[in-house]
A and B are shown apart, each in its own frame.
Chain A
Amino acid sequence: MKHPELTVSVSPHIHSGYTVARMMYENAGALIPVALAGWFFFGWPALKILALSAGTALLVEWGWEKLFGPPANIRDGSALLTGLLLGCILTTEVPWWIPILGSLVAITVGRHAFGGMGNHPFSSVLVGWAFLEISYKEILETYPLAEPRFLLEASEFFSDPPLIAMKDDLESILEVPWSELFFGNVPGTLGTVCVLAILLGGAYLLYRRIITWHIPLSFIFSAWLFALIMWQVDPEVYAPPTFHILSGWMMFGAFFLATEKGTAPVTPLGMIFYGIGCGVLTIIIRTWGIYTEGVPFAILLMNGATPLLDRIKPGTAGRSR
């Protein structure tokens, strides 16, 4: 008897109606401003990329559910979220098969090989992205110019993404007003350029308590502090800290990627250490590594350390040390 007629569960019996699926859909909903910003700066191809990656993710999830059954579940929204997040970290210049391949790897190797949502040790989005980055570095790092639809003028400061400009010529980024970076009027991946839109989405996530402040704040602040120290050591060689936190994937990573459920620690102290690790590693990889962007690798590395960070547990209440 697999499905008994009468199911008796333990109390509490009143359900808030807040389910995992709803959380996933709300999390995906927080990407609306990000997607709009992508459309605003890069035009309709942005929506095409998002649709391709999300569509493939849903299709693969559906196929896996048909083949292997639970815990794969297309209705829980996690596949949609993964697909959308992967679309956000690609440029609009990539050929059509890049988001499809990325989603395929993210959902199969990144997630279901490990037993589905909540069990995968590494952020599935970043597994898909890292696979693409290692295999097709040239394709992934061809950046389109930002061409705002209305209100803003196309930027004359950047022809390369800020982080590449930083590596090529540090002088060139110093005269750029921070507002250019804040509004995202720079070349880059479609979901990550506009800090304003990401902050809007992140504020919604915080307001709905889908994420807590610990990871984003410690991530951004530790990156800022570490960059500040380096900048104080030698301003000729290292970029100013504000530039670091406003450029690249920093904001997107802190609010959307580092907080992926199941891959980040759950205790407050663990989350703070996780954020600090992400922030410091990001600046290290950005400054000395061969990859343009340090955020994804920093998050993947800290994902690896998450089980150890989860060993930091609060003591038993009422018991002295």
Chain B
Amino acid sequence: MSEYLLLLVSAVFVNNIILARYLGNCPFLGVSNRLDTAVGMSMAVVFVITLASAATWIVQTYVLTPFDLEYLQTIAFILIIATLVQLVEMFLQKSIPTLYRALGIFLPLITTNCAVLGVAVLAIQNEYGFVKTIFFAFVSSVGYGLALILLTGIRERLNVAPIPVHLKGTSIGLITVGLLALAFLGFAGMVH
């Protein structure tokens, strides 16, 4: 139990996937302009990362490792994630249109998110079991969502601030992410 609690603190705060590992920056800056899109994106990220990590773990354990194909990990994972997300999208569109509409454009968008691949690879590198992999993926993506929602709150305000013209838009967004990461450094060293 305490092992899982530590993993939660570690993945959400200490080793936050975006603010400490710098994975998945492009959608992070891309969708952090309005709060409702940010919330939609967070939900889609949680959904996809959890699902993809579970699938990649199965493939790694039952296909790649037994046949000594670990060197194909990256390309195999990319292929799995892309097809899986596409499959899920078609499935959702057909059977749960409400959820499909709620996730909207973000579902195909995060297929190419490096955070998805990052979490899948990290789970393998840390040699987690199946349940732990799923939990790790879930809390990591929750950490991603938390950072995304915090940043969106700030950027919504910055939209109306008299920012120097050279810094408008993405530049000030990057500075803000940097300062947010600076604040998250306070959690450093809590979990090893």
**Which A residues are closer than 8 A to B by beta carbons?**
68, 71, 109-110, 112-116, 119, 121-122, 127, 130-131, 134, 281, 284-285, 288-291, 294, 296-298, 300-301, 303-308, 311
Q: In the complex the two chains form, is A308's CB within 8 Å of B153's CB?
A: yes
Q: Taking the complex as formed, is B66 at the interface, i.e. its CB lies under 8 A from any CB of chain A?
A: no
Given the complex of chains A and B, what is the CA–CA distance between A130 and B180 in angstroms? 11
Residues in B neighbouring A122, C-beta threshold 8 A = 179, 183
A-B contact pairs, 12 of them (CB 8 A): A71-B162, A109-B179, A114-B176, A121-B157, A122-B179, A300-B182, A300-B186, A304-B151, A306-B153, A307-B156, A307-B157, A308-B153
Partner pick for B154 among A112, A284, A291, A307, CB 8 A cutoff:
A307
Given the complex of chains A and B, what is the CA–CA distance between A109 and B180 in angstroms? 13
Given the complex of chains A and B, what is the CA–CA distance between A109 and B176 in angstroms? 10
Q: In the complex the two chains form, is B185's CB within 8 Å of A130's CB?
A: yes
Q: In the complex the two chains form, is B162's CB within 8 Å of A116's CB?
A: yes
Q: Taking the complex as formed, is B188 at the interface, i.e. its CB lies under 8 A from any CB of chain A?
A: yes
A-B CB proximity, top 9 nearest: A297-B186, A290-B189, A307-B153, A300-B183, A115-B161, A119-B161, A115-B162, A121-B154, A308-B153
Q: In the complex the two chains form, is B158's CB within 8 Å of A130's CB?
A: no
Given the complex of chains A and B, what is the CA–CA distance between A134 and B149 in angstroms? 25
Q: In the complex the two chains form, is A290's CB within 8 Å of B150's CB?
A: no
Given the complex of chains A and B, what is the CA–CA distance between A296 and B158 in angstroms? 23
Given the complex of chains A and B, what is the CA–CA distance between A180 and B188 in angstroms? 31
Number of B residues whose C-beta is below 8 Å from A? 27
Given the complex of chains A and B, what is the CA–CA distance between A291 and B179 in angstroms? 17
Q: In the complex the two chains form, is A127's CB within 8 Å of B182's CB?
A: yes
Residues in A neighbouring B158, C-beta threshold 8 A = 114-115, 119, 121
Partner pick for A113 among B157, B175, B180, CB 8 A cutoff:
B175
Q: Taking the complex as formed, is B91 at the interface, i.e. its CB lies under 8 A from any CB of chain A?
A: no
Residues in A neighbouring B180, C-beta threshold 8 A = 304
Q: In the complex the two chains form, is B157's CB within 8 Å of A297's CB?
A: no
| Chain B: minimal CB distance from A97 (Å) | 21
Given the complex of chains A and B, what is the CA–CA distance between A262 and B141 in angstroms? 30
Q: In the complex the two chains form, is A289's CB within 8 Å of B163's CB?
A: no
| Chain A: minimal CB distance from B88 (Å) | 30
Q: In the complex the two chains form, is B179's CB within 8 Å of A127's CB?
A: yes
Main secondary structure of the interface of A (DSSP, over half): helix
Q: Taking the complex as formed, is B30 at the interface, i.e. its CB lies under 8 A from any CB of chain A?
A: no
Q: In the complex the two chains form, is A289's CB within 8 Å of B188's CB?
A: yes
Q: In the complex the two chains form, is A68's CB within 8 Å of B150's CB?
A: no
Q: Taking the complex as formed, is B172 at the interface, i.e. its CB lies under 8 A from any CB of chain A?
A: yes
Pick the most buried of A130, A131, A307: most chain B CB atoms within 10 A of its CB. A307
Given the complex of chains A and B, what is the CA–CA distance between A114 and B4 in angstroms? 39
Given the complex of chains A and B, what is the CA–CA distance between A165 and B99 in angstroms? 54
Q: Taking the complex as formed, is B47 at the interface, i.e. its CB lies under 8 A from any CB of chain A?
A: no
Q: In the complex the two chains form, is B187's CB within 8 Å of A285's CB?
A: yes
Residues in A neighbouring B186, C-beta threshold 8 A = 281, 285, 289, 291, 294, 296-298, 300-301
Residues in B neighbouring A115, C-beta threshold 8 A = 158, 161-164
Pick the most buried of B153, B156, B176: most chain A CB atoms within 10 A of its CB. B153
Q: In the complex the two chains form, is A297's CB within 8 Å of B153's CB?
A: no
Residues in B neighbouring A291, C-beta threshold 8 A = 186, 188-189
Given the complex of chains A and B, what is the CA–CA distance between A68 and B180 in angstroms? 26
Q: In the complex the two chains form, is A303's CB within 8 Å of B188's CB?
A: no
Q: Taking the complex as formed, is B87 at the interface, i.e. its CB lies under 8 A from any CB of chain A?
A: no
Q: In the complex the two chains form, is B190's CB within 8 Å of A119's CB?
A: no
